[in-house]
Structure formats: C-alpha cells, structure tokens
C-alpha cells in the first residue's frame, strides 16, 4: 500500500524546518527533511523579518520532498503570532515585515486607549496586553506611516501571507487572527465595531477560516518550481496553537507549557474568560483548534538563555550550560516577565543589572547566569500555576511540557520542584505534530483531536519528573 505523507513547515523566531509525517503500524513517524535559520534583521532603524528569504527557504524544503521521493498529500505552515504584512490591490507588499520585538509600538497602547479603555478592550477580546500585539502595531503604522494604511488592500498574518504566495488565496486563519486583539471570542470573527472605533480600514481584514480548512492547491508556477502539487490545508497557524493541539493527554483540562523561545503556560477552555480577574492576572484567551481557547500566560522563556549563550558562551551547548547551572548555589532571582528582558541590547548585562538593582548577588559565570534564569523561570511557572488554579477553581496534579524546551531536563526538574507537581516532558516536536494532526484529521486519518492526541501519546516517548514543594534551594 502506498504511503501517504503530510508536510508541516514550522517557522520559529530563530529557525524553520520541514517535517514529513506518515502513519506506520498505527503510529506517527516524523522525519525532519530540511532546516534553515531565521532571525530579525535591522533595516532603516527597525527590526524586521526577511520574508523573501523565508519564502525561498519554504520552497527549498519542498523541493527536498522530490529528492526523497516523498510527495506530500497536503502541507501547511505555522509561524509565530502577531506579525503581519500589508498588501496592495495587486498583492504587492507595502513596507517591511516588522518584527514584534521592534520598539515602534512603545506608547501605542495609549493611542488605542484613547478610543477604548483597557478594561473594555479585554472584555471584548479576552486577549492579554502585550505591547507587540497587532492592535498596537497597527496603531504605530497609523501614527508613523498613515499612507500605508491608505494604500493597503489587505492584511495577512505571517503564515497567511506564505499560504497566499503558495496558492494565491487570501484568508485569515483563526488561531493567529485572535492574537491581533481584534477578534471576538463570542462570534470568533472580526470585531467590526472595535475596528471602526480604532479607525483601521475594514477592507484589510480577510475572511477568517478555521484549522483544517482546505485552502486549495499550489499555484502553477509554484508547482513548476518545486516539482509537485499538493493540497494546502490550514493548520493552527499560530505555532503555540499547533503545539497545544499536540499535548498528549486525554484529560479534558490540563496544565501545559509550550516551551521554546517563549514559555506559554495555561490550560484549555471551551469558553473564554474575559473577566476582570482574568485581566488583572494578564491571562489571555487565544484561539485554539476546534474552537477551544488557550487560556494562558506569556512568559519570557528560553529566549533569555539563548541570548546569554550567544553573548557569553557561544562555544557551549545547552546541555553543558545546564550541567554548569546545576552545580551553582547562587540564590539570586529575577522577574523574567519584566519588559527589560524583551529586547535588551545585551541580555547578560541586563540580568546582572537587574540583580544588582535588587541588591542580590550578581552572576558572573555562564553557569551562574543560567542558574539565575532557570530558577527564575521555574519560580514563575509555579506562580502562574497557582494563578490559573485560583482562576479555574481547581487543582492540576500534572504539567505537560511540549516543544523544544521539553529537552531542558534541568529546567523540567526545577519546574517539578518549584510547583510540587508531576512534570511530563514531550514531545519536543509538538508544534509540527499539531500542524500535521490538523492536516491528518482533514484527510480522515484521525477521527478528531482526541484520536490524534492518543496517537501522539502512543508514538513518542515522554519523560516524567516528580516534584514536591520545599525541595528547591
């Protein structure tokens, strides 16, 4: 019987990869066939994405399918959230693809709150305040480049733009659209009144489609370039939404951490919580697969370790850094969610400065720096777990860690110790698996998300860490 392959293109802030999957003896087989670097670049004084190069890499990875003789039945692309491109009536990009860590959104919250209060905005959207949310990015464009909005015919989130280049079809995928802070959690569609209040052109916002929607086939010129045609199926295009779809549990509600550049910690809900209590705790209600809500909190994540390594010890692997951190006894802690760590000129010096200002021991070596960051992350996870439990009115005995951070055994152990919960780590390729699950459900390989999660749990090894509060030093 001929094997049916599915292709997930998963692009993160630091790298992208093409992952092929198929079913074999009832289990998912995953194969990385192509990987490429990504990162923000500086242009005209702003942090931007090189979208032309990224799309060229998408095509390069697709060509690898032909070389391997493994042509996918379908494919889908996921990326990070909130960032977008503006297109004119001919589908040409207007301006650069600005990156969320760019500083142009500073002060834009006040521009938005001149039209709607922060409290009412949360009640309407359920999305936590992050100064880089699309709603504030558009306020910056309106303030700094008003002609761009006049010229623009369409706004597409980053993965929607790549799907458009592949198929010629313009739609907005639901999970990523919710991160704009312009979607109603009730109607699961654009909040027309909010868009009018803010003075954003309504024509920019395309029809919202749910994960699993068949967008179409590759354009003829793309078929010629890559050497095949296939269906393009919308996955949960927000990488965290795909990762959460792959959390390998049959529990209706569980705590998870999607761990990578960011740590996204939360649970799933079938209805959004737009209460004042949720807002005060800065919880968000982002869209998930099957109209679920990802009730979660953004935590700065492994971006801090990645930055410190790049600056202070690029010759060391993350495993060695963890090993050195585990030997340290430094007791200093920092607030990992402080905005100062979002895009500092030098993360190493910013961590040291934060410790110095707090009157705590200043870390010197890479081991001490990593120990401060890892312990501070685990401490933050514990506090966030308590917040979610209080808001949900229930206790969670386990935390599922998925994504690349599931490999960080030292952090996983600390998380178990600080939270006093069982930590189950894996799969590390959760984002690609959630992307693929949506495609395979659409193809009839799985009946529903529950069946896909059961297969993921059966196909990939997990590692458990037991913790009891009071063990941390």
The answer to whether the beta carbons of residues 437 and 454 sit under 8 Å apart is no
- For residue range 224-247, list pLDDT tens digits in order: 999 999 999 999 999 999 999 999
- What order of strands is seen across the sheet that includes strand 463-465? 284-287, 293-299, 263-269, 255-259, 398-402, 422-425, 463-465
pLDDT, mean over the chain: 95
Angstrom distances, CA of residue 196 to CA of 115, 203, 330, 359, 381 = 10, 11, 52, 48, 38
CA distance 276 to 122: 8
- Break the chain into its structural domains and give their ranges: 5-233, 239-473
**pLDDT for the residue 249:** 85
Beta strands in 108-210 (DSSP E): 154-157, 172-173, 208-209
The answer to whether the beta carbons of residues 328 and 367 sit under 8 Å apart is yes
Fold of 5-233: Nucleotidyltransferase; domain 5 (3.30.420)
CA distance 185 to 271: 8
**Residue 261 binned pLDDT confidence (cut-offs 50, 70, 90):** confident
Buried b (16+ CB within 10 A) or exposed e, 328-339: bebebbbebbee
Fold agreement between 5-233 and 239-473: yes
**pLDDT for the residue 14:** 86
**pLDDT for the residue 469:** 55
pLDDT at 291 over 70: yes
| Percent share of the chain, pLDDT over 70 | 98
The H or E element spanning position 74 is strand 72-78
Q: Which residues pair with 75 in a beta bridge?
A: 7, 232
Q: What is the mean pLDDT of residues 260-279?
A: 94
**pLDDT for the residue 339:** 87
**Residue 461 binned pLDDT confidence (cut-offs 50, 70, 90):** very high
Token duo for residue 26: 């009832």
pLDDT at 62 over 90: yes
**pLDDT for the residue 13:** 86
Buried b (16+ CB within 10 A) or exposed e, 350-380: bbbebbeeeeeebbeebbbbbbbbbbbbbbb
Q: What is the mean pLDDT of residues 263-269?
A: 95
Q: Which of 239, 273, 335, 338 is catalytic?
A: 239
The tokens 């799933």 sit on which residue? 268
Instruction: Residue 256: name the closest of 295, 282, 301, 288 by CA.
Output: 295
CA distance 59 to 61: 5
Pick the CATH number of 239-473 from 3.30.420.40, 3.40.50.20, 2.60.120.620, 3.40.630.10: 3.30.420.40
Query: Is 239 designated active site?
Result: yes
- For residue range 131-186, list pLDDT tens digits in order: 999 999 999 999 999 999 999 999 999 999 999 999 999 999 999 999 999 999 99
**Residue 309 binned pLDDT confidence (cut-offs 50, 70, 90):** very high
**pLDDT for the residue 301:** 86
CA distance 343 to 131: 12
**pLDDT for the residue 195:** 98
Strands 293-299 and 263-269: antiparallel
pLDDT at 253 over 80: no
**pLDDT for the residue 343:** 84
Q: What is the DSSP string of 147-164?
A: HHHHH--EEEEHHHHHHH
Angle ∠(225,231,232) on CA atoms, nearest 5:
85
């Amino acid at each position: 019987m001929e094997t049916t392959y599915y292709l997930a293109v998963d692009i993160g802030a630091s790298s992208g990869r093409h992952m092929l999957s198929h079913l074999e003896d009832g289990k998912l087989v995953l194969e990385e066939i192509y990987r490429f670097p990504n990162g923000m670049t500086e242009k005209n004084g702003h942090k931007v994405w090189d979208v032309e190069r990224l799309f060229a890499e998408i095509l390069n990875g697709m060509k690898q399918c032909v070389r391997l003789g493994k042509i996918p039945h379908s494919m889908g692309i996921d990326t990070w959230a909130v960032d977008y491109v503006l297109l004119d009536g001919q589908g040409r990009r207007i301006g650069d693809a600005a990156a969320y860590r760019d500083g142009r959104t500073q002060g834009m919250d006040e521009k938005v709150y001149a039209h709607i209060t922060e409290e009412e905005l949360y009640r309407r959207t359920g999305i936590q305040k992050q100064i880089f949310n699309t709603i504030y990015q558009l306020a910056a464009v309106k303030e700094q480049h008003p002609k761009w909005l006049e010229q623009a015919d369409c706004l597409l989130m980053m993965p929607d733009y790549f799907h458009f280049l592949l198929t010629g079809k313009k739609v907005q995928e639901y999970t990523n659209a919710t991160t704009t802070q312009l979607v109603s959690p009730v109607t699961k569609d654009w909040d027309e009144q909010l868009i009018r209040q803010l003075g954003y052109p309504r024509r920019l916002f395309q029809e919202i489609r749910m994960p699993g929607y068949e967008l179409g086939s590759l354009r003829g010129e793309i078929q010629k370039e890559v050497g095949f045609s296939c269906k393009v199926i919308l996955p949960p295009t927000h990488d965290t939404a795909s990762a959460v779809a792959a959390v390998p549990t049959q529990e209706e509600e569980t705590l998870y951490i999607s761990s990578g550049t960011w740590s996204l910690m939360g649970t799933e809900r079938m209805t959004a919580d737009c209460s004042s209590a949720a807002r005060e705790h800065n919880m968000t209600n982002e869209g998930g697969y099957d109209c679920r809500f990802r009730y979660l909190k953004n935590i700065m994540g492994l971006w801090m370790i990645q930055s410190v390594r790049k600056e202070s010890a690029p010759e060391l692997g993350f495993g060695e850094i963890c090993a050195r951190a585990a030997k340290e006894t430094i007791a200093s802690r920092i607030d990992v969610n402080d905005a100062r760590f979002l895009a500092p000129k030098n993360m190493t010096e910013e961590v040291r400065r934060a410790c110095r200002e707090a009157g705590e021991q200043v870390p010197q070596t890479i081991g001490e720096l990593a120990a401060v960051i890892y312990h501070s992350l685990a401490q933050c996870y514990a506090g966030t777990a308590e917040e979610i439990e209080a808001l949900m009115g229930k206790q969670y005995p386990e935390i599922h860690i998925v994504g690349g951070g599931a490999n960080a055994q030292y952090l996983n152990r600390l998380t178990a110790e600080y939270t006093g919960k069982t930590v189950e780590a894996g799969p590390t390729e959760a984002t690609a698996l959630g992307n693929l699950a949506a495609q395979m459900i659409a193809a009839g390989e799985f009946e529903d998300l529950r069946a896909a999660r059961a297969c993921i749990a059966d196909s990939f090894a997990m590692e458990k860490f037991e913790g009891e509060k009071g063990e941390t030093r």
